[in-house]
């Protein structure tokens, strides 16, 4: 008895001693660690470059004011810092706490700073809120907007010529406010509720990346702006079933494929008299898109880019702001489509030439175009794509851009002379993965961030063009230590041959203790649409760690990029899916899965699953419905079951106008083949998804029911396309996905 008592007394001491030695993180990941406790979140390094010679600024925790941030200026050469704005100077009169810094902008002389705070979400981003101006010379803090309602101002900007003038958009009109006198003038007019000035409708924002819809002239005497009129655009209705006892109707204009677009035009309003001159751009304004607009290196002309509705022609135009007369300087054409989102426009040689990115000769390259359009000289040559142009520096006569000529899954910094000579990789060798850069205005410095599938981001300050590291800004050391304690999966990038002279890129995440004599279930993570690429060798955050967790549990996770994705493999690769989205891509995916099953005997052909989100959700449906004997389960989140239900700009860009491609739309839509479902399917959708509407999910469910097909379904009320709003939504979704996967595609013998 005494021995037992002694053992009982000693046991807690032994456990306590063991607990002290036990690592904080066990060898296996859990959903709670990843999505609830956020124990593996990586850190970035947020900053903003100032004008040449002024260094950079960033918001940092204030030492004097609790729960607040100062704005600090840094000298990149020495690292010396100077507090430009102390948090205590941002406390409004009568308040106790300083303004929250959502974003901020300085005047060129740093005498004033514009603070954006109290923000609200508009579709994707928080672009609506309150603006305040702090005068650093006298400490005066002033709220803009006069009697404007809370959080109704957008895109406030100082005049480039007079820091006492600030323009902003308020309730779809453009205003200018004089900080000295306090006078507020409305510069635009809304003749009806369907008119939008200085910002955009849903589809322009989502598919052309346009939000801020006005530009100050360099001399500060005029403002150029977009105006849209949504009259005639069909309305989309969604229901909010959560906020009260009765559902609330959410209505907005949304042009589905083949339907009527908003009228788009560009005008220039003179501050002197408030009169707008409209640019006389030819063509039906409902069936053309003014996709880009800015001042043409002076205050008398604008440079416009006009896409036709098919988006296979881009006319670059010069517009006279006083008369509105327009002249086409350059025309770019493609047999499929043109992507303006990869463009880069900068004036050089004192306005004699401008830059333009085109795929017209088979690869995405940079051209110099003369102001009048008589000459177009290609600067970059070779069989490689410019992924993104970062900086053109006339002083050093160098162009910096991201490319990866030898490996479409990686990203590196390159430079070339403006004469087209001296192509050189700037990123050092031996750092395989993805590299991104924020280059200073004078091209002497850059913040360089590097990561890969196995390693979280490291951010350094470097010198250019040497790429010499000046100092490490963020290396995520704490996260690295946590990851080092895990039972790490194996990762690899490889190519799969799916036809003669055709290979596709892929990566695999393998169980840590994979035994090639055993059989493992295969889960494919897919996107496959022409708006993205999954096989990029970069850190994947929480989504990547979920895949790690599955690999730890015995799953093999792979991702494959079919033809038609944005991979830097040439124009022919990307445009091969024109007018057949969903058809060729799912064929490539299936061919790759079949081949990898042959190449790797440890993969179980009877346990193949697929999952994806948005376009990947559509591809998941295509996989299960078109190849029901290959895929045994799928998780489809926020898919587009019927391409006719998506918007004009995106879907018509890749599929053409519905009346000209009825068969393509039908065969490319997963709902057409829903009757073929054999495997287990989990459908997930947010009921107020303004992007990919719940309507499509309802139609798919109706079709599955009509064909006696069983499935599981999660409808998240009042969630958008990201399915992230509301308490515990993300952990709930990931738990549901994991549980379904374990049931439908179990690990083990």
* CATH code for the domain in which residue 571 is found: 3.40.50.1820
List Cβ neighbours of 305 (8 Å cut-off, separation of 6 or more): 290, 291, 292, 293, 314, 315, 316, 317, 340, 343
pLDDT band at 17 (very low <50, low <70, confident <90, very high): very low
pLDDT at 123 over 50: yes
Same domain flag for 206 and 96: no
Written as six digits, the tokens of 661 are 């491609």
Question: Does residue 574 fall inside a structural domain?
Answer: yes
How far apart (Å, rounded) are the C-alpha atoms in residues 358 and 380? 11
Radius of gyration of the CA atoms of the chain, in A: 28
Same domain flag for 178 and 326: no
Question: Does residue 384 fall inside a structural domain?
Answer: no
Number of structural domains the chain divides into: 3
How far apart (Å, rounded) are the C-alpha atoms in residues 178 and 168? 12
pLDDT at 424 over 90: yes
Mean pLDDT, residues 433-454:
98
524 close to 593: Cβ distance less than 8 angstroms: yes
Question: Does residue 507 fall inside a structural domain?
Answer: yes
Q: Is 173 helix (H, G, I), strand (E, B) or coil?
A: strand
Question: Does residue 287 fall inside a structural domain?
Answer: yes
Same domain flag for 604 and 706: yes
For all residues of the chain together, what is the average pLDDT?
Answer: 95
DSSP per-residue string spanning 23-48: -SS-SS--HIIIIIS-TT-------E
Say what the pTM is: 0.94
How far apart (Å, rounded) are the C-alpha atoms in residues 461 and 430? 18
- Residues 260-276 pLDDT 10s: 999 999 999 999 999 99
List Cβ neighbours of 520 (8 Å cut-off, separation of 6 or more): 511, 514, 554, 555, 556, 602, 603, 604, 607, 747
pLDDT at 654 over 50: yes
Alpha helices in 606-647 (DSSP H): 615-626
pLDDT at 278 over 60: yes
Neighbours of 513 (CB within 10 A): 11
Give the pLDDT score at 12: 33
pLDDT at 16 over 90: no
Same domain flag for 550 and 644: yes
Q: Which domain holds residue 329?
A: 187-342
Written as six digits, the tokens of 59 are 């918001």
Residue 302 burial (10 A CB sphere; 0-12, 13-18, 19+):
buried
How far apart (Å, rounded) are the C-alpha atoms in residues 320 and 343? 23
* CATH code for the domain in which residue 135 is found: 2.130.10.120
Peptide bond just before 611 cis, omega within 30 deg: no
How far apart (Å, rounded) are the C-alpha atoms in residues 41 and 38? 6
- Residues 574-604 pLDDT 10s: 999 999 999 999 999 999 999 999 999 999 9
How far apart (Å, rounded) are the C-alpha atoms in residues 671 and 456? 39
Mean pLDDT, residues 542-548:
98
Mean pLDDT, residues 201-207:
97
DSSP 736: H
How far apart (Å, rounded) are the C-alpha atoms in residues 461 and 512? 35
Give the pLDDT score at 373: 84
pLDDT band at 5 (very low <50, low <70, confident <90, very high): very low
- Residues 329-362 pLDDT 10s: 999 999 999 999 888 999 999 999 999 999 999 9
* CATH code for the domain in which residue 311 is found: 2.140.10.30
Give the pLDDT score at 10: 30
Facing residues of 558 across strands?
A: 508, 524
Same domain flag for 222 and 320: yes
Question: Does residue 358 fall inside a structural domain?
Answer: no
702 close to 734: Cβ distance less than 8 angstroms: no
How far apart (Å, rounded) are the C-alpha atoms in residues 405 and 698? 44
Same domain flag for 162 and 236: no
- Residues 87-107 pLDDT 10s: 999 999 999 999 999 999 999
257 close to 646: Cβ distance less than 8 angstroms: yes
Q: Is 202 helix (H, G, I), strand (E, B) or coil?
A: helix
Facing residues of 293 across strands?
A: 304
Mean pLDDT, residues 729-743:
98
Question: Does residue 1 fall inside a structural domain?
Answer: no
pLDDT band at 372 (very low <50, low <70, confident <90, very high): confident
Same domain flag for 70 and 203: no
How far apart (Å, rounded) are the C-alpha atoms in residues 356 and 354? 7
pLDDT at 15 over 50: no
Show which of 342, 366, 387 is a domain's final residue. Answer: 342
Written as six digits, the tokens of 56 are 């950079």
pLDDT at 378 over 60: yes
Give the pLDDT score at 22: 46
The number of angstroms, rounded, from the C-alpha of 387 to the middle of its chain's C-alpha atoms is 14
Neighbours of 67 (CB within 10 A): 10
Same domain flag for 175 and 233: no
229 close to 194: Cβ distance less than 8 angstroms: yes
Same domain flag for 181 and 191: no
pLDDT band at 25 (very low <50, low <70, confident <90, very high): low
φ and ψ at 376, to 5 degrees? -140, 115
- Residues 215-248 pLDDT 10s: 999 999 999 999 999 999 999 999 999 999 999 9
Facing residues of 541 across strands?
A: none
Show which of 342, 362, 388 is a domain's final residue. Answer: 342
Give the pLDDT score at 26: 66
Pairing of strands 712-716, 347-348: unpaired
Same domain flag for 228 and 302: yes
pLDDT band at 749 (very low <50, low <70, confident <90, very high): confident
φ and ψ at 58, to 5 degrees? -155, 155
Question: Does residue 81 fall inside a structural domain?
Answer: yes
Cα distance between the two ends of the chain: 47
- How far are the Cα atoms of 141, 230, 659, 686 from residue 133, in angstroms, in the given order? 6, 33, 52, 38
Same domain flag for 267 and 203: yes
Q: How many H-runs (helices) and E-runs (strands) does the chain carry?
A: 12, 43
Same domain flag for 114 and 211: no
Question: Does residue 396 fall inside a structural domain?
Answer: no
How far apart (Å, rounded) are the C-alpha atoms in residues 216 and 490? 52
pLDDT band at 3 (very low <50, low <70, confident <90, very high): very low
Show which of 138, 162, 185 is a domain's final residue. Answer: 185
DSSP 671: G
């Amino acid at each position: 008895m005494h021995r037992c008592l002694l053992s009982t007394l000693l046991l807690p001491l032994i456990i306590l001693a063991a607990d002290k030695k036990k690592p904080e993180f066990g060898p296996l990941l859990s959903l709670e660690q990843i999505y609830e406790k956020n124990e593996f979140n990586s850190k970035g390094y947020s900053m903003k470059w100032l004008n040449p010679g002024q260094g950079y600024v960033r918001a940092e925790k204030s030492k004097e004011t609790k729960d607040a941030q100062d704005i600090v200026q840094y000298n990149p050469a020495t690292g010396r810092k100077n507090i430009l704005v102390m948090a205590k100077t941002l406390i409004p009169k009568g308040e106790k706490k300083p303004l929250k810094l959502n974003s901020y902008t300085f005047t060129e002389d740093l005498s004033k700073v514009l603070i954006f705070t109290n923000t609200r979400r508009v579709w994707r981003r928080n672009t609506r809120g309150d603006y305040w101006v702090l005068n650093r010379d006298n400490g005066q803090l002033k709220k803009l907007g006069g009697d404007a309602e809370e959080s109704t101002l957008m895109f406030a900007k100082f005049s480039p010529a007079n820091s006492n003038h600030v323009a902003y958009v308020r309730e779809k009109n453009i205003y200018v406010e004089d900080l000295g006198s306090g006078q507020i003038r409305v510069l635009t007019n809304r003749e009806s509720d369907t008119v939008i000035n200085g910002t955009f409708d849903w589809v322009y924002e989502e598919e052309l990346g346009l939000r801020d819809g006005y530009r100050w002239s360099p001399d500060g005497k005029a403002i150029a702006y977009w105006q849209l009129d949504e009259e005639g655009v069909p309305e989309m209705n969604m229901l909010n079933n959560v906020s009260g006892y009765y559902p609330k109707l959410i209505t907005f204009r949304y042009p589905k494929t083949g339907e009527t677009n908003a009228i788009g035009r560009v005008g220039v309003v003179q501050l002197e008299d408030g009169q707008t001159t409209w640019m006389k751009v030819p063509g039906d304004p409902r069936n053309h898109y003014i996709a880009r607009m800015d001042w043409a290196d002076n205050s008398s002309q604008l440079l416009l880019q006009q896409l036709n509705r098919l988006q296979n022609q881009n006319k670059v135009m010069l517009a006279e702001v006083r008369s509105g007369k327009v002249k086409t300087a350059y025309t770019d054409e493609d047999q499929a489509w043109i992507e303006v989102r990869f463009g880069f426009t900068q004036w050089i040689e004192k306005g004699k030439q401008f830059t333009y990115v085109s795929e017209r000769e088979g690869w995405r390259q940079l051209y110099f175009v003369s102001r009048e359009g008589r000459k177009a000289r290609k600067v970059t040559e070779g069989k490689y794509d410019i992924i993104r142009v970062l900086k053109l520096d006339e002083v050093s006569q160098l162009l910096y851009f991201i490319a990866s000529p030898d490996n479409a899954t990686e990203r590196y910094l390159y430079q070339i002379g403006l004469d087209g000579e001296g192509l050189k990789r700037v990123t050092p060798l031996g750092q395989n993965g993805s590299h991104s850069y924020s280059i200073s205005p004078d091209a002497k410095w850059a913040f360089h961030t590097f990561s890969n599938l196995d390693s979280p981001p490291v951010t350094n300050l470097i010198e250019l063009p040497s790429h010499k590291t000046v100092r490490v800004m963020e290396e995520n050391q704490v996260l690295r230590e946590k990851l080092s304690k895990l039972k790490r999966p194996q990762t690899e990038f490889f190519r799969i041959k799916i036809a003669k002279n055709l290979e596709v890129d892929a990566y695999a995440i393998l169980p840590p203790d994979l035994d090639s004599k055993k059989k493992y279930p295969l889960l494919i993570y897919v996107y496959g649409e022409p708006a993205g690429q999954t096989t990029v060798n970069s850190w994947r955050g929480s989504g990547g760690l979920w895949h790690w967790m599955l690999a730890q549990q015995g799953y093999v996770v792979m991702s494959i990029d079919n033809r038609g994705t944005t991979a830097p493999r040439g124009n022919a690769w990307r445009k091969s899916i024109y007018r057949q989205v969903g058809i060729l891509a799912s064929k490539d995916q299936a061919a790759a899965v079949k081949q990898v099953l042959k190449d790797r005997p440890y993969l179980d052909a009877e346990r193949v699953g697929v999952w994806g989100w948005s376009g990947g959700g559509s591809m998941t449906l295509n996989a299960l419905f078109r190849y029901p004997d290959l895929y045994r389960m799928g998780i489809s989140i926020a898919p587009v079951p019927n391409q006719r239900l998506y918007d004009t700009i995106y879907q018509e860009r890749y599929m053409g106008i519905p009346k000209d491609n009825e068969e393509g739309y039908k065969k490319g839509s997963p709902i057409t083949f829903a009757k073929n479902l054999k495997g287990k399917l989990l459908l997930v959708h947010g009921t107020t998804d303004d992007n990919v509407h719940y309507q499509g999910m309802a139609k798919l469910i109706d079709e599955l029911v009509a064909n006696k097909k069983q499935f599981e379904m999660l409808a998240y009320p009042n969630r958008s396309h990201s399915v992230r709003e509301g308490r515990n939504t993300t952990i709930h979704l990931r738990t549901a996905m994991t549980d379904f996967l374990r049931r439908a595609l179990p690990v083990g013998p």
